[in-house]
Amino acid sequence: LDVRILVSLVSALEITSSPTAPLEKASGQSVKLDCQFSLTSSDTGPLDIEWSLLASDNQINDQVVILYSGDRVYEDYYEPMKGRVHFNTPDPKSGDASINLTGLKSTDTGTYQCKVKKAPGIASKKMQLIVMVRPSKPKCTTEGTLEEGKDIVMRCSTTEGTKPMQYKWEKTSDSKLLPSSSVMDPVAGTINVKNVSTSASGSYRCVASNRVGSEECVLYLHVTPPHNTGGILAGSIIAVLLILLLLAIILYCFFRARKNKKYEKEICNEIKEDVPPPKSRVSSARSFSQMGSQRSSVGSMSPSNLHDYTLKSQYSMKSQYDKIPSTEEYDRPPSQVPLPPPTAARMAGPNLTRMGAIPVMTPAQNRDGSIV
């Protein structure tokens, strides 16, 4: 009896697929999880095939991915894999319990278990799947001042990608050699260049890669000679001084023009105040009439006073004729200039002679009052 039991156990249901190493696939790809089995004549019960994603934490239950039971396939057990998991053959009873996963995602990473049951036989197999994300297109940047003699850092980084990630820098122009003072970090994706020179200028390429793919980016480096800070400072100071000088000239001209305008206005007011008003015609006619009356009164004087009166008349008439004519009289036409009464001038001479007076010649004068 014991021998029969031993023979039945040996010839029971068995998973024939060989153990496999962890499977590494890139996201978006497909994978086949192999699970082949064999039955014996003693396995007479119904066939059940169950695929599960084992939980990494003992506190969480295993998740059934797909199930075959009662000659029927059930594929919608796990919502994140809905429509992406299928049996490899339409009829798993033939001994092929393998499944196919399509459109792999990083969340599909984990340990899967294939369990086949056909009473009284039970067999299972575990396998590990690692879904890796290929690197996204990296970004190449520089840190620091691209000036000769300065220290710079060239950095290459990606936003997506399953680690471990490797970065490799290479120069694609000129000598295709990295600067002699550069130190590259393949894990961080950086190159530190000390005391950079203009010979480091050129194009560089960074390749980011992991076990499932690679991407690259290009960086152009342009190192400039050091700036002449002394010349720039001197030029700035000169520019500021020129601006200040220009402002000073503008202010000087403005105040000078304002002062001249004020001076001209004061001179104009002084001239208007000093000019005397022109004499009226009445005053000129009155002076001539007074002279005529004085001459006519000579006849009534006595011989004793005649000499004194003659001298006074001479000086008074001379002072009258020596007066500078006013602006109005000067500008008046000759026809409008008032003349002394003719009768007085004619009668003055005979009367004085008749009375014994000595005639005195009075210098003739023109319109302007000058002696002829």
Q: What is the pLDDT of residues 236-274, one digit of tens each?
A: 888 898 999 999 999 889 888 888 877 777 776 655 555
* Residue in the structure block whose two tokens are 């009662």: 70
Between CA 131 and CA 107 the distance in angstroms is 8
pLDDT for the residue 365: 52
Q: Which of 13-22, 32-41, 263-272 has the highest mean pLDDT?
A: 32-41
Between CA 236 and CA 213 the distance in angstroms is 55
Before 120, cis peptide (omega within 30)? yes
The tokens describing 301, both together, are 């004087």
Beta bridge partners of 221: 202
The arrangement of strands across the sheet holding 85-87 comes to: 31-33, 99-101, 85-87
**Is-contact 68 89, C-beta < 8 A?**
no
The tokens describing 219, both together, are 């960086």
Instruction: Express each pLDDT in 138-153 by its tens digit.
Output: 999 999 999 999 999 9
**Is-contact 333 284, C-beta < 8 A?**
no
Say yes or no to pLDDT of 283 above 70: no
Higher-confidence residue of 270 and 67: namely: 67
**Is-contact 369 325, C-beta < 8 A?**
yes
The tokens describing 371, both together, are 């002696």
The 10 Å Cβ neighbour count of residue 6 is 10
Between CA 277 and CA 273 the distance in angstroms is 10
Query: Degrees (nearest 5) of the Cα angle 193, 137, 101?
Result: 140
Say yes or no to pLDDT of 371 above 90: no
Say yes or no to pLDDT of 167 above 60: yes
- The CB-side HSE value for 171 (13 A sphere, CA atoms) comes to 17
Q: What average pLDDT does range 176-200 have in this prediction?
A: 92
The 10 Å Cβ neighbour count of residue 48 is 16
Q: Which of 221-225, 301-305, 341-345, 355-359 has the highest mean pLDDT?
A: 221-225
Say yes or no to pLDDT of 174 above 80: yes
Higher-confidence residue of 361 and 19: namely: 19
Could you tell me the domains of the chain? 14-132 (2.60.40.10), 139-221 (2.60.40.10)
pLDDT band at 94 (very low <50, low <70, confident <90, very high): confident
Say yes or no to pLDDT of 334 above 70: no
The tokens describing 73, both together, are 């396939």
**Is-contact 152 144, C-beta < 8 A?**
yes
Between CA 325 and CA 284 the distance in angstroms is 10
Spatial neighbors of 256 by CB under 8 A, at least 6 apart, are none
Spatial neighbors of 44 by CB under 8 A, at least 6 apart, are 118, 119
- Please classify residue 367 by burial: count the beta carbons closer than 10 Å to its beta carbon, then call 0-12 exposed, 13-18 middle and 19+ buried: exposed
- Residue 342 has φ and ψ, to the nearest 5°, of -70, -30
Q: Which pTM value belongs to this model?
A: 0.52
